Amino acid sequence: MEKSLQIYPQCLEAHNNLGSRYIDLREYEKAATEFRKAIEIDPRVMQPVSNLSVALFLLQRYPEAETAARHALALDPLNPTARYMLGTILAAEKRNPVETVNLLSQTRSQFADSRLVLAMVLTRLGNLEEAKNELREYLKTPDPAKKQNVERWLERLAQSSATNRSAQPSTP
């Protein structure tokens, strides 16, 4: 791809594809550079903008990642990847919990990990039962990749719920 870009440096798809390969190689800064080059060629194409949000998120540059994800959503308001990324970024920033829950709830069917991020946000908000429900639903997905960790997380939430119930004063 690098050779093809030497021949045709204005190929948006090649920059976007090269950026995606850099993501696979965990070279996130190089990926962000390629996505930016693709965006310079045509800022109306959603895919490199969405991909830029991923690269910036992986670099933990959350404000920039949020800007890119919001730009991607402006280009395609129904795009599930842009919604998932914005929800995940907001969760990482611990900002806008209502918007975060809304975005992640909308992407559960496309991204199983939406349930995990949503459970984290719901736990932070003190909605332990809803968080547990999200984790249980995640475990129902075919071959959940993080099964053992999620099962342990569910156990901790169950213990936390039991502790909270026993700590509450009983009413006469």
List Cβ neighbours of 105 (8 Å cut-off, separation of 6 or more).
114, 118
Q: Show contacts of 88-97: CB within 8 Å, 24+ apart.
A: 88/57, 88/117, 89/53, 89/57, 89/62, 89/65, 90/66, 91/117, 91/120, 91/121, 92/57, 92/60, 92/62, 93/62, 93/63, 93/66, 94/124, 97/121, 97/124, 97/125
Domain count, the chain: 1
Q: Please indicate, yes or no, if residue 151 is contained in any of the structural domains.
A: yes
Q: Please indicate, yes or no, if residue 25 is contained in any of the structural domains.
A: no
Q: Please indicate, yes or no, if residue 134 is contained in any of the structural domains.
A: yes
Note the Cα 89 to chain centre separation in Å: 6
- Residues 115-140 have pLDDT tens digits of 999 999 999 999 999 999 999 999 99
132: containing domain:
112-159
- Residues 39-96 have pLDDT tens digits of 999 999 999 999 999 999 999 999 999 999 999 999 999 999 999 999 999 999 999 9
